């Protein structure tokens, strides 16, 4: 009796596939896939989850579109309250069958991986002597379903592939939400596909040279007529003969180079047909789409990003660093005072704060030409500055760096910033002065203290000045402290 019920649903299911006559005309291959996995039901139902297994038949309409017929079976537990015995009863091992038709769309192909999206319609049927008592229940014994989901295939060879599949299944009538997770091994073979015959060009070169024999008076035909046969075989139809084709199995419609391999203009390992970033710099690692990683998503790839941890949605410059027009250390979107004069101490909102010099303590550190390295002669002076910082634990060290006038203004500003940072890092490394207690400012050539026309004057201008100051909360405290 159960087998008869099964045919009631299998026959209409198979008949429905006849609505797609292109299957018989356009398919290029046929695939059979044994499947195994789990079926998980929405939590408000009186049916338990179950392992399921079955079979999927696939017909390829093209390289991208695949039609599918799937049959799955599982043994489910049925739970209900018996009003006669007044007990909760569980019937286990109840056969449940799923029949679905639908299709896949291959999103792209990367090496042996083929991600796809899928969808379809079908029904499930539960074989149980007790199913009729739930005919008016949301869990009655048959339901029509729609499904959608995604998966990935991994090709082992031209015939074999692993397959993983996840589907969300929704019933038409009761909107039950179920989930299936499946895996399987697919076997493909040609179906109605004519064998490709190599094109053969035959060139016949024949010449008849007649010579009269002076002794025999006969016409002698010289054996110069011969057949020259050239075979031009191009299996993947990419325009490169197999004899010269390094990649003889290139996918159709993919542009190839002179060696028959997919073009890869930026040499990143992802060929141009699927490369979303076709101008990636050389020797930069990329993802499966051919794009270099940009972990902070600021539009500047990590290889060129000087500020790789920029907060989300913060505008950045060409180096990937947040825009800070007045260079006060507070990003422009958060800066309430965006035009603070350079060199001022500011609060967390970018506005100037009052400061007081705790001690008139300044030192000059000179640098060699084009150098940011702290010269050993100044190590003792930096040790004095560090002791003052340790003495005044709430004080700030204002580190101002300057250069001579040789070079462009941009170059000198960058160099002065490097020198200020060099002093800051030296104090942190050798004396454990916290980095947040030191502020650096690079003025470039803007504040000379000597004549830049002489070597002695230029040497004096290549300097760093350190001033130890304390922040004041308001003007009243500033007046009292003076």
Instruction: Give the CATH number, domain containing residue 32.
Output: 2.40.160.20
Most confident of 37-51, 315-329, 371-385: 371-385
For the stretch 8-19, pLDDT in tens is 544 444 444 444
Which two structure tokens, joined as six digits, stand for 186? 């697919």
Residues 318 and 373 in one domain: no
Query: What pLDDT score does 256 carry?
Result: 78
Residues 185 and 223 in one domain: no
Q: How many angstroms separate the CA atoms of 64 and 68, rounded?
A: 13
Residues 106 and 223 in one domain: no
Separation in Å, CA 346 to CA 92, 148, 341, 355:
72, 56, 10, 10
Residues 146 and 228 in one domain: no
Residues 317 and 217 in one domain: no
With respect to residue 203, please indicate whether it lies within any of the assigned structural domains.
Answer: yes
Can you say whether the dihedral through the CA atoms of 278, 283, 287, 288 is positive or negative?
positive
Nearest Cα neighbor of 2 from 123, 143, 97, 92 is: 97
With respect to residue 329, please indicate whether it lies within any of the assigned structural domains.
Answer: no
Q: CA angle, 439 as apex, 434 and 444 as ends, to 5°?
A: 140
pTM of the predicted structure, to 2 decimals: 0.39
With respect to residue 400, please indicate whether it lies within any of the assigned structural domains.
Answer: yes
3-state secondary structure of 204: strand
Residues 372 and 432 in one domain: yes
Last residue of a domain, one of 190, 212, 238: 190
Q: How many angstroms separate the CA atoms of 431 and 1, rounded?
A: 89
CATH number of the domain where residue 385 is located: 3.30.1330.60
User: Do 361 and 467 form a contact (C-beta atoms < 8 A)?
Assistant: yes
Q: How many angstroms separate the CA atoms of 225 and 207, rounded?
A: 6
Residues 162 and 305 in one domain: no
User: Do 281 and 274 form a contact (C-beta atoms < 8 A)?
Assistant: no
115-141 in b/e form (b: 16+ CB < 10 A) is ebebbbebbbbbbbeebeebeeeebeb
For the stretch 336-362, pLDDT in tens is 888 888 878 888 788 888 888 777 666
Residues 99 and 212 in one domain: no
Last residue of a domain, one of 175, 190, 205: 190
Query: What pLDDT score does 153 carry?
Result: 92
Query: What pLDDT score does 448 carry?
Result: 92
Q: With cut-offs at 50, 70 and 90, classify the pLDDT of residue 310.
A: confident
Q: Is the pLDDT of residue 191 over 60?
A: no
Separation in Å, CA 227 to CA 90, 138, 207, 231:
83, 79, 11, 13
Q: How many angstroms separate the CA atoms of 341 and 347, rounded?
A: 14
Mean pLDDT, residues 373-380 taken together: 87
Query: What pLDDT score does 174 carry?
Result: 66
User: Do 299 and 318 form a contact (C-beta atoms < 8 A)?
Assistant: no
3-state secondary structure of 333: helix
Q: How many angstroms separate the CA atoms of 61 and 79, rounded?
A: 43
Residues 178 and 222 in one domain: no
Structural domain of 469: 358-481
Query: What pLDDT score does 162 carry?
Result: 93
With respect to residue 462, please indicate whether it lies within any of the assigned structural domains.
Answer: yes
With respect to residue 470, please indicate whether it lies within any of the assigned structural domains.
Answer: yes
Which two structure tokens, joined as six digits, stand for 478? 């500033």
Q: Which helix (H) or strand (E) holds 152?
A: strand 142-155
Q: How many angstroms separate the CA atoms of 411 and 405, rounded?
A: 10
Residues 142 and 123 in one domain: yes
Total number of domains in the chain: 4
């Amino acid at each position: 009796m159960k087998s008869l019920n099964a045919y009631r649903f299998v026959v209409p299911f198979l008949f429905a596939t006849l609505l797609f006559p292109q299957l018989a005309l356009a398919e290029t291959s046929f695939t059979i896939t044994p499947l195994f996995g789990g079926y998980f039901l929405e939590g408000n139902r009186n049916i338990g989850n179950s392992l399921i297994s079955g079979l999927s038949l696939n017909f390829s309409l093209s390289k991208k579109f695949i039609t599918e017929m799937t049959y799955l079976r599982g043994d489910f537990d049925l739970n209900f309250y018996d009003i006669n015995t007044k007990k909760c009863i569980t019937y286990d091992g109840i056969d449940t069958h799923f029949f679905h038709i639908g299709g896949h769309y291959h999103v792209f192909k990367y090496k042996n991986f083929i991600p796809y999206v899928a969808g379809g319609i079908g029904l499930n049927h539960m074989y149980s002597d007790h199913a009729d008592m739930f005919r008016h229940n949301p869990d009655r014994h048959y339901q029509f379903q729609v499904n959608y989901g995604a998966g990935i295939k991994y090709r082992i060879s031209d015939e074999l592939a692993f397959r993983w599949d996840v589907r969300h299944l929704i019933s038409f009538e009761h909107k039950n939400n179920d989930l299936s997770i499946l895996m399987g091994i697919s076997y493909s073979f040609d179906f109605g596909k004519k064998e490709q015959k190599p094109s053969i060009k035959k060139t016949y070169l024949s010449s008849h040279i007649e010579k009269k024999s002076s002794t025999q008076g006969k016409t002698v035909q010289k054996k110069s007529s011969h057949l020259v046969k050239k075979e031009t075989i191009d299996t993947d139809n990419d325009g490169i003969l197999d004899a010269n084709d390094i990649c003889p199995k290139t996918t159709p419609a993919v542009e190839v180079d002179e060696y028959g391999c997919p073009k890869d203009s930026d040499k990143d390992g992802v060929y141009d047909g699927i490369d979303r970033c076709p101008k990636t710099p050389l020797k930069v690692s990329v993802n499966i789409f051919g794009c270099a990683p940009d972990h902070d998503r600021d539009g500047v790839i990590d290889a060129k990003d000087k500020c790789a941890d920029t907060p989300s949605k913060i505008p950045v410059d060409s180096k990937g660093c947040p825009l800070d027009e007045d260079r006060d250390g507070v990003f422009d979107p958060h800066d309430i005072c965006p035009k603070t004069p350079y060199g001022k101490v500011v609060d967390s909102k970018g506005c100037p704060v009052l400061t007081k010099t705790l001690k008139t303590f300044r030192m000059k550190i000179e640098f060699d030409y084009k150098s940011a390295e702290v010269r050993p002669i100044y190590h003792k002076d930096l040790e004095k500055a560090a002791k003052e910082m340790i003495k005044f634990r709430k004080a700030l060290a204002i580190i101002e760096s300057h250069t001579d006038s040789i070079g462009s203004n941009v170059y000198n500003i960058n160099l002065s910033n490097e020198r200020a940072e060099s002093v800051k890092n030296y104090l942190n490394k050798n004396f454990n002065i916290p980095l947040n207690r030191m502020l650096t400012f690079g003025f470039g050539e803007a504040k000379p203290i000597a004549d830049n026309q002489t070597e002695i004057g230029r040497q004096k201008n290549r300097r760093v000045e350190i001033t130890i100051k304390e922040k004041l909360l308001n003007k009243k405290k500033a007046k009292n402290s003076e």
